[in-house]
């Protein structure tokens, strides 16, 4: 199910509205959040909407997808810090309802198990927001991760470290390992939105469109999900056959 919009702004408005709709319909929803540059305008738009028309968020529970190993929550490039900066500092969600993998956990294996268990205890994720890496990773589930994986430690692919290097002052500062929710954890979400924008996502979106389900392409696991929306701007959809999205939706305006 594809939703293709002309601009990043429209992608962000649509995605933020879907999150708002979920919160309004289910005030105690369990939301799966993610990081990355794609999500920054989504969170900005969500906060803007909530400022204009406040909605009670105090009953929400959130789980983030992943975190670098070795970075404290205060580190400027940790995903914990990202989420506080872009969302949580301005949302009134009780701190005990906000969950992120702990990149400094003493016993990482136990922490991974506890993270997947905690998702199950609250009844699973109602809505999982997702981006995609240029190599098709979801969360930090790199190519060849088992589709039945639960929260686990990963060694980051070199391509991922290069892609994410721009957020660090030097390439060697990019951590080599991370904790990520597993693909099975993600697939058990009741609803998934995968958002991708920009020309640098066009190749992987075309590959995903053409690929069968294959562990070499982690995002292809999502193809078996019954409630998946893929939200793209024109640039990210640039290499998709037009009939992929125009069968279901009116053609976007020709202005792009």
Q: Which of 41, 101, 103, 133 binds ligand GLP (CB under 6 A)?
A: 133
* Contacting ligand GLP within 144-163 (CB under 6 A): 160
Question: Is 140 in contact with 160 (CB distance < 8 Å)?
Answer: yes
Question: Is 42 in contact with 16 (CB distance < 8 Å)?
Answer: yes
Residue carrying the six token digits 């929803």: 29
| Smallest separation (angstroms) from ligand GLP to the CB of 195 | 8
Nearer to ligand GLP, 138 or 240 (CB): 138
Residues 161 and 84: their CA atoms lie apart, in Å, by 23
Site string for ligand GLP, 51-80 (x = CB under 6 A): --------------xx--------------
Nearer to ligand GLP, 50 or 132 (CB): 132
Verify whether residue 135 is a known catalytic residue.
Answer: yes
Nearest to 142 by CA among 131, 151, 133: 133
| Smallest separation (angstroms) from ligand GLP to the CB of 181 | 9
Residues 239 and 62: their CA atoms lie apart, in Å, by 34
3-class state of residue 59 by DSSP: coil
Q: Is 215 exposed, middle or buried (0-12, 13-18, 19+ CB in 10 A)?
A: middle
Which residues are 84's β-sheet partners? none
Verify whether residue 81 is a known catalytic residue.
Answer: no
Residues 20 and 137: their CA atoms lie apart, in Å, by 26
Site string for ligand GLP, 3-42 (x = CB under 6 A): -------------------------------xxxxx----
Q: Which of 64, 80, 99, 135 is catalytic?
A: 135
Q: Which of 10, 102, 142, 163 is catalytic?
A: 142
Site string for ligand GLP, 222-251 (x = CB under 6 A): ------------------------------
| Smallest separation (angstroms) from ligand GLP to the CB of 193 | 12
Strand intervals (E) in the chain: 2-5, 30-33, 61-64, 66-68, 98-99, 127-130, 152-155, 177-180, 192-196, 228-233
Interface stretch with ligand GLP, choices 6-14, 133-141, 147-155, 224-232 (CB under 6 A): 133-141
Note the maximum CA span of the chain.
Answer: 54
| Smallest separation (angstroms) from ligand GLP to the CB of 140 | 5
Q: Which of 33, 63, 88, 140 binds ligand GLP (CB under 6 A)?
A: 140
The two tokens of residue 203 are 């190749």
**Contact call for residue 175 and ligand GLP (CB under 6 A):** no
Residues 139 and 180: their CA atoms lie apart, in Å, by 6
- Active-site residue list: 66, 135, 137, 142
Residues that bind ligand GLP (CB under 6 A): 34-38, 65-66, 131-133, 139-140, 160, 164
């Amino acid at each position: 199910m594809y939703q293709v919009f002309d601009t990043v702004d429209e992608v962000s408005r649509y995605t933020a509205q879907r999150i708002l709709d979920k919160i309004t319909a289910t005030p105690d929803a369990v939301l799966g959040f993610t990081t990355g540059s794609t999500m920054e305008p989504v969170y900005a738009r969500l906060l803007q909407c909530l400022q204009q028309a406040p909605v009670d968020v105090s009953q929400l529970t959130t789980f983030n997808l992943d975190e670098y190993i070795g970075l404290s929550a205060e580190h400027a490039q940790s995903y914990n810090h990202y989420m506080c900066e872009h969302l949580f500092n301005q949302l009134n969600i009780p701190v005990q309802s906000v969950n992120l993998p702990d990149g400094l956990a003493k016993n990482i294996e136990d922490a991974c198990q506890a993270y997947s268990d905690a998702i199950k205890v609250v009844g699973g994720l109602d809505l999982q927001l997702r981006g995609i890496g240029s190599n098709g990773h979801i969360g930090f589930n790199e190519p060849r991760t088992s589709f039945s994986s639960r929260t686990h430690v990963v060694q980051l692919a070199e391509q991922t470290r290069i892609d994410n290097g721009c957020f660090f002052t030097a390439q060697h500062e990019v951590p080599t390992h991370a904790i990520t929710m597993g693909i099975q954890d993600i697939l058990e979400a009741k609803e998934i939105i995968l958002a991708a924008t920009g020309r640098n996502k066009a190749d992987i979106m075309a590959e995903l469109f053409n690929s069968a389900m294959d562990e070499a392409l982690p995002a292809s696991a999502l193809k078996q999900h019954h409630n998946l929306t893929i939200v793209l701007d024109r640039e990210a959809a640039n290499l998709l056959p037009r009939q992929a999205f125009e069968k279901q939706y009116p053609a976007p305006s020709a202005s792009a």
